[in-house]
Amino acid sequence: MRKLIAGSLVLALLGCVPLAALADQPAPERKDPILAGALSYYMPGLGQFYGGAYLKGAAFWVLEQTLLVSTLLTIAEVELSVSGDISLGLNIKAKDETSRKQRKTAIILGSTLAVVHFINIIDAVNTSRNYNLRRAEGMFADFRYDEELRTYNLELKTRF
């Protein structure tokens, strides 16, 4: 069942893109590791998306946002107000009194966020380097259209 769903998804995605446009695309370009690190510094997971590791990028984004919100909710009061004339207000203020346990939890969560963010940047750089190594070794897909035979060819290149 999973193979059927995955196959249907691939066919649907290929149906949305003109095949002639895919056939004219050049081989993938090299990825800049410094740009990948800068992208992940700016927005968690963006460097992994740039390097082609979409699932890893999404995981880093969710993890960092969860840690950020958890830290904020530990030490601050958040109030969301919605009025009838379609206006939205968000009020964030420090809690009047925080217990020692809440402060300790906030410090641990904040420190974990800083460490995860640092790891995220390093991983983005390594992801783009690995992408470039795979490309240099010839590990990428090539999609071409043969006008004589009027067929599309998908070729996966790799070394064994």
pLDDT mean across residues, the chain: 80
Give the pLDDT confidence score for residue 11 in this predicted structure.
47
**pLDDT tens column, 69-109:** 999 888 888 888 887 777 788 787 888 888 899 999 999 99
CA torsion sign for 54, 60, 63, 66 is negative
Give the pLDDT confidence score for residue 2 in this predicted structure.
53
Global pTM exceeds 0.85? no
Q: How confident is the model at residue 44 (pLDDT cuts 50, 70, 90)?
A: very high
pLDDT above 70 (res 122)? yes
Alpha helix (H) residue ranges in the chain: 2-16, 19-23, 33-42, 46-50, 54-75, 100-136
HSE-up of residue 107 (Cα within 13 Å, Cβ side): 7
Give the pLDDT confidence score for residue 160 in this predicted structure.
52
CA torsion sign for 34, 39, 42, 46 is negative
How large is the angle between the packed helices 33-42 and 100-136, nearest 10 degrees? 150
Give the pLDDT confidence score for residue 4 in this predicted structure.
45
Segments making up each domain of the chain, as ranges = 30-138
Kindly report the number of other CB atoms within 10 A of residue 123's CB atom.
21
**pLDDT tens column, 47-73:** 999 998 999 999 999 999 999 999 988
Place of tokens 């949305």: 16
8 A C-beta contact, residue 60 and residue 45: yes
